[in-house]
Amino acid sequence: MYRWEITRAALDQRVVALVRGESYDHAAATAGTLLSAGITSLEISLTTPFALEVVTTLAREVGDEALIGAGAVLDGASARLAVDAGARFLSSPGLRTSVVRTGHRYGVPVFPGVATPAEILRAMELGADALRLFPAPARHPRWLTEVRAELPQVYKRQAGAVACALGTELSEGDRDTVAKRVGELLGRLEDAVPRPGR
């Protein structure tokens, strides 16, 4: 797949599940629960012990049924290790040129974190595949609307967001609780704005 195809697939469901665990087993179990609940894009945080092994295992197990990415990628070396582990996309809490360049060198899309219009413009100049508003709770949806007014090419949907990234607020609880929560979220997202081309 080309980078743009991976980006589209990663954001198609309009939710990316963030997995941060205190161990390999915890992260793998959380990811398994989310995948079985219907999530198709998972980001394994490199802050998780043995995160690269989790990425490798999941990427091998899910094949093309879901996209497994790496999050909290802070530098080019980590980006390369994540790509080698099988990450299909890279995410970073900040805008790191080395992460974008390394991801693109190996055909992997990069979603850098941005918090200001200057960072948005720089990310666009670097060819970022999608932008991650980070930290999101620090911004009101009106902020996205204002940025979109000045930079309409950046954000395409209502307030400006094309997807949301959720961590423990999505994955907490037993399998049935998570499955119900994921089902409700996906239903609300589908009702809110139909996906493009549908």
Beta-carbon contacts of residue 187 (< 8 Å; ≥ 6 apart): none
> Which of 76, 81, 148 has its CA nearest to residue 112?
76
- Classify 22 as helix, strand or coil: coil
Task: Determine the pLDDT at residue 176.
Answer: 87
Q: How confident is the model at residue 194 (pLDDT cuts 50, 70, 90)?
A: low
**Domains of the chain listed by start with CATH number:** 3-187 (3.20.20.70)
Q: What is the pLDDT of residues 34-73, one digit of tens each?
A: 999 899 999 999 999 999 999 999 999 998 899 999 999 9
Beta-carbon contacts of residue 148 (< 8 Å; ≥ 6 apart): 154, 155, 159, 160
Strand pairing of 164-166 and 90-92? unpaired
CB 32 within 8 A of CB 62: no
Higher pLDDT, 98 or 155: 98
Q: What percent of the chain has pLDDT over 70?
A: 93
